[in-house]
Structure 1
């Protein structure tokens, strides 16, 4: 299984923790809330759900959708609605999610992996959150050093637009390091809090 497939499985199990949901709503939430899956297609989503079903991590049940909620239909009150599959997490799925949430491999620090893991920090143990935050900060600090090194070389040969793009990249990376440091400091002060205030 690829890292991206594992990440998608983790995200789906995490979303289904909130309650039974149909595929359309899962895709919408993945697209809107989790940047790693902004362009997720149904052709990727449904095979992932099928794999989770095969492994017994989720279950499905039909749910009648009232005609008024069907895309493109006018409410008539006469037809009974069509069945739409609703997915729900199983006990085995909750255990698999909790096991995955405890892992702190390098995928948890990557751009896509970190965002998805952060989205489910409310269900992640404090020591694991801290390891992931510190790992991500180290990764971003390394990126910042590389950006600064590269910017120092040959900056005088760059046109103003390319130099502005380099400065933007450096400033964005610096901001992420500061943000991660704030999260780490908040976590150290209050490891049992639900998270930083918006």
Structure 2
């Protein structure tokens, strides 16, 4: 739960880093960022905004909406402290950046990072998924007595992770190719096995 809250706060800071926004527009953009599989409630957003306000990472100003009613709205904007914090968090390449919610948010703001940061996060994520595949495949051995639907669920989970592994491998190769085109002669393309062996060591407790 704490990790999800931190990821949401990071997303809020990332969007406010681009421009000040009022709550409705911020929620709309966050929902686009989160994708179709998850809709953000107003309650979750305003809890995140309150935490960021208390921490001094954002502030709020009252703006008048143009038009006949000239209704006043609260607009949120990032502070200098918020910009510094966002910059530190978005370039953090530790194990927390590889987890499901954290990775998705960080990936959404990859344009704010350099190639080295992107590669370390992508390689770490790939390493984490390879661990999941190994556990899932191992747990499926000798499971001939499994319920049919349990077996189908396991198969679906494995195939989903395999698709993401392929996607990550392609992204890593693209990042490396771009880096080589800027810095030197090309080398051999990466494979899932070579990327995994080069990835930072994953946290064994996860």
- Normalising by structure 2, we get a TM-score of 0.78
1:36 positional shift: 11
Counterpart of 1:85 in structure 2 is 74
Q: State the 4+ residue runs in structure 1 displaced beyond 6 angstroms.
A: none
Residues 37 and 158 of structure 1: CA distance in aligned 2, closer, same or farther (over 3 Å): closer
Residues 122 and 191 of structure 1: CA distance in aligned 2, closer, same or farther (over 3 Å): farther
Q: Quick check: 111-120 or 55-64, which moved more?
A: 55-64
Counterpart of 2:50 in structure 1 is 50
RMSD after superposition: 2.5
Q: How does 1:1-198 map to 2 (within 5 A)?
A: 2-34=2-34, 38-65=38-65, 79-154=68-143, 156-191=144-179
1:50 positional shift: 2.4
Contact residue 17 and residue 94 of structure 1 kept, 8 A: yes
Gaps of 5+ in 1: 68-78, 194-198
Gaps of 5+ in 2: 182-206
How far apart are the structure 2 equivalents of 1:4 and 1:116?
A: 10
Structure 2 residue matching 1:153: 3-state secondary structure: coil
How far apart are the structure 2 equivalents of 1:144 and 1:190?
A: 29
Aligned residues: 181
